[in-house]
Amino acid sequence: MHLDLTEEQSRIKFSVREFAEAEIAPHVMAWDEPQQFPLELQPKLAEMGLMGIIIPEAYGGAGLGYIEYATIIEELARVDPSVALGVAAHNSLGTNHIFMAGTEAQRETFVTPLARGEKLGAWALTEPGSGSDAAGLSTTAVRQNGHFVLNGNKNFITHASYADTCVVLASTDRSKGTHGISAFIVPTDTPGFVRGKKENKLGMRASDTASLAFVDMKVPAENLLGRENEGFVDALRILDGGRISIAALSVGIAQGAYEAALRYARERYAFGRPIAEFQAIQWKLADMATQIEAARLLTWKAAAMKDAGRRTTKESAMAKMYASEMAVKVAEEAIQIHGGYGYTKDYPAEKFWRDAKLCTIGEGTSEIQRLVIAREILRQP
């Protein structure tokens, strides 16, 4: 694989960087402190083509590949991880699940307005009692008179408070465990769709995370997404791509934290000279830069394989696990380089650290990634 971006990919990278620095950077803490979801940003993201990055142009998307997608998410996360997370969740999960598993009619009805940024998407798998243990999913969908009736609760759902369209995973045959789970496309104005508590979070505070409830919610049978009882099989395919975006998000967080630390090390004087001249600081910066580059290459490898139509279960898990854990370490070192100032909200290091931790948890914890990687390598002869 090529280890550098093409001219066109570089152009996309720097156009997104300019956008992030002009439209997002001035508002980062104003959104973070009150946990304000920046709805006003959605039309601007749509104008940039960032609401349908990996969706073909025929359905209103930008028609780009996963290398471009990873680059875009990284550039957004370098400035504000909350915005990057929102863009990733909208693209990789809700919108992409409908595109990958949906019928032509479903794509035209639901994917096109999502990819154009006219509507916002959510993806609801996690529940109060089942996260990593998907077999413990308790939301049910019962077929009745041309409808499915859904009852249950979801937790930690990105965009739950604002989404227009939600993909919901529910059990249609509890006796089959994960092989009895189906997916449904649910407009959020459907009677019985109840938006619940918004979470008060450590980081990613400008990204909306809330609970959902479904109370005798009738969903037309034609809104079944994919084949009945195979929703979780499709969800695993969606997560393979989603984990690439979380890896890219992690790389962006680390890059932002590293750049802040590098800047500070050049400007901060101690004992009569910039602290960047001290070996203790230089070695920290060297380790940070090396770890970021390693994570970026793992992410690009998974993205290139995805673009080539290859299965990326192992590579996506490796990239996500390594990059997320790396981001936490790099962000923590950025705080250390800042010293006491790193512990204040006057400098960006503390926010990158708070935001980074979610990446080791969301879309499969580091522990789950290790299980996935081990399972994949043990399958090999």
Domains in the chain (CATH in brackets) are: 7-120 (1.10.540.10), 122-227 (2.40.110.10), 232-379 (1.20.140.10)
Whole-angstrom distance between the N-terminal and C-terminal Cα of the chain?
24
- How long a stretch of residues is the chain? 381
Residue 135 confidence (pLDDT): 77
pLDDT at position 381, please?
A: 86
**What would the mean pLDDT of 308-312 be, rounded to a whole number?**
97
Asked if the model's pLDDT at residue 302 lies above 70, the reply is yes
Mean pLDDT value of segment 326-346:
98
In the set 75, 127, 350, 363, the catalytic residue is: 363
pLDDT category, 252, cuts 50, 70, 90?
very high
* Secondary structure tally for the chain: helices H, strands E: 13, 10
> What pLDDT score was predicted for residue 163?
98
Average pLDDT over the chain, rounded to an integer: 97
Confidence of residue 93 (pLDDT cuts 50, 70, 90): very high
The whole-number pLDDT of residue 125 equals 97
Cα separation, 240 vs 320, in Å, equals 10
Q: What is the DSSP secondary structure assignment for residue 347, as one 8-state letter?
A: S
pLDDT interval class at 133 (50, 70, 90): confident
- The pLDDT score that the predictor gives to residue 2 is 53
Q: Which helix (H) or strand (E) holds 233?
A: helix 231-267
Mean pLDDT of 314-337: 98
pLDDT digits (tens, 9 = 90+) for 151-173: 999 999 999 999 999 999 999 99
Q: Model pTM?
A: 0.96
Task: Give the mean model confidence (pLDDT) for residues 182-199.
Answer: 98
Residue 350 catalytic?
no
pLDDT at residue 261 in the model: 98
Q: DSSP class of residue 163?
A: -
- 175: its two tokens: 């006796």
Q: Bridge partners of 123?
A: 167
Is the predicted pLDDT of residue 3 greater than 80, yes or no? no
Would you say residue 1 has pLDDT above 70?
A: no
